[in-house]
Amino acid sequence: MRPGEIARRIIAMAAVLLSIAAAAQAGPPLICHPFEIGPAKSLPQVNWNNVAALGYDVKNLTRDTLAVLDSNAPVLVRMETLRRATIYAGSDPQTAQELLAQLRARARASDAAGHPDALAWFDAGYLVETYKQWLDRGGANPAAGLDGYGWVKKALSLRGPDAEMEFAAALITLSGPERDHREHARLAMAGAKSDALLASNLASRFHSQTVAELLANSSEGGLGK
């Protein structure tokens, strides 16, 4: 390998590491960055530093989350709803386990009925990945050992082109696998040209850069698994 090429790869690698370090300082992206959903209905807003701030009864979490997800909500609304649900669930291990069990059962039931539901598999997979970014901080995580990203990929294969789902997959794969992340990010950005709300989310700021820049920077340098 020529010295110039080695230098370029080192620079690219450093850029990726700085990008991921910045994201880490700002907090887990699936948790600490709220998604814009316009006037759509979701769970009550939650402060991740103080779950009890709004006085929400976490015992209602599974019921309320399913009510949003079963309303044929767009993917971005599902992402924000599951972000809020994960933060709430962090304060109640039993509820966290119940919510995950319900979403897994919902996805499996669609397969058993002979009509695999892409959104049901997305919900289960995305919840697993948000749990990993929040509940792995300490204590038991009911999603430990589960391949949430694999379920999101299954959802994409069932659903077909969906830029918002590609956006979710790109965020999940920020630290790899790099080749998959790069393709998810490319498809999300391409789809944002005809999806104003997705475009707004990509343009929103996460720490010192836009979300689009975070995705693009993490696609460079080959940090794949």
Each residue's pLDDT tens digit, 69-103: 999 999 999 999 999 999 999 989 999 999 999 99
> Is residue 224 predicted with pLDDT exceeding 50?
no
Residue 12: the pLDDT is: 38
Residue 106 in this model has a pLDDT that exceeds 80: yes
For 196, counting Cβ atoms within 10 Å of its Cβ (0-12 exposed, 13-18 middle, 19+ buried), the class is exposed
Q: What is the pLDDT of residues 166-201, one digit of tens each?
A: 999 999 999 899 999 999 999 999 999 999 999 999
Q: Residue 208's pLDDT is what?
A: 84
The pLDDT score that the predictor gives to residue 52 is 65
83-86 contact pairs (CB < 8 A, 24+) = 83/30, 83/31, 83/34, 83/35, 83/130, 84/42, 84/43, 84/44, 84/45, 84/46, 85/43, 85/61, 85/127, 85/130, 86/30, 86/31, 86/127, 86/130, 86/131, 86/133, 86/134, 86/135
Separation of alpha carbons 8 and 5, rounded Å: 5
